């Protein structure tokens, strides 16, 4: 069974898209459809990736691994590594790690994922409920530059 949007929620998403920079309803509808189709095609459980910065791997909270993930690790690294390295290097000596998890599809916050993809369509993020609780940690590996 796939994710479906009721009429009221659909209108809310279209209005949100128009407020966040979409030029017209048609482009907003296309993006909403794209995101819903992508989420419905995900396996269950789904394998996800996250780029995080840690001073030590022991600093990582396995019980709450976070909410923002992507399905494509290579795209994550290519699209976000340089900016995140710059952002984090200003504050501390942390190092980049790739977190790989699996999570049941019912732990995805579908509404927030759609909104996030409307606000930042290039990021293609999947948003999890409850700070990632219920996910299974597969690996936490240093990212080799």
Q: Which domain holds residue 72?
A: 45-142
Structure tokens at 103: 């999570």
103 burial (CB, 10 Å; 0-12 / 13-18 / 19+) is buried
The answer to whether residue 5 is domain-embedded is no
E strands in the chain: 46-54, 68-69, 95-103, 126-127, 136-142
Strand partners, 137: 101
Cis before 45 (ω within 30): yes
Residue 62's CB is within 10 A of a number of other CB atoms, namely 12
**Is position 133 within any domain?**
yes
Total tally of structural domains belonging to the chain: 1
Q: Which token pair is 104?
A: 């049941």
Does residue 10 sit within a domain? no
Q: Is residue 61 part of a domain?
A: yes
Handedness of CA 24, 129, 135, 2 (dihedral sign): negative
Contact 114, 16 (CB under 8 A): no
Is there a domain that residue 117 lies in?
yes
Bridge partners (DSSP) listed for residue 50? 99
> Would you say residue 22 lies in a domain?
no
Residue 79: inside a domain = yes
Alpha-carbon distance of 88 to 57, in angstroms, equals 16
- pLDDT per residue, tens digit, the chain (145 aa), is 578 899 999 999 999 999 999 999 999 999 999 999 999 999 999 999 998 888 889 999 999 999 999 998 887 777 666 666 655 555 567 788 899 999 999 999 999 999 999 999 888 899 999 999 999 999 999 987 6
């Amino acid at each position: 069974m796939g994710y479906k949007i009721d009429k009221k929620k659909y209108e809310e998403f279209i209005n949100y898209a128009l407020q966040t920079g979409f030029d017209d309803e048609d482009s907003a509808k296309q993006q909403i459809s794209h995101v819903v189709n992508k989420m419905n095609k995900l396996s269950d459980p789904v394998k996800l990736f996250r780029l995080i910065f840690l001073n030590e791997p022991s600093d990582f909270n396995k019980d709450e691994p976070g909410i923002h993930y992507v399905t494509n690790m290579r795209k994550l690294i290519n699209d976000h590594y340089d900016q995140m390295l710059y952002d984090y290097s200003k504050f501390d000596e942390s190092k980049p790690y790739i977190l790989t998890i699996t999570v049941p599809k019912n732990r995805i916050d579908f509404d927030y994922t759609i909104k996030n993809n409307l606000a930042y369509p290039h990021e293609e993020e999947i948003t999890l409920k409850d700070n990632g609780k219920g996910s299974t940690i597969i690996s936490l590996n240093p990212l080799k530059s």
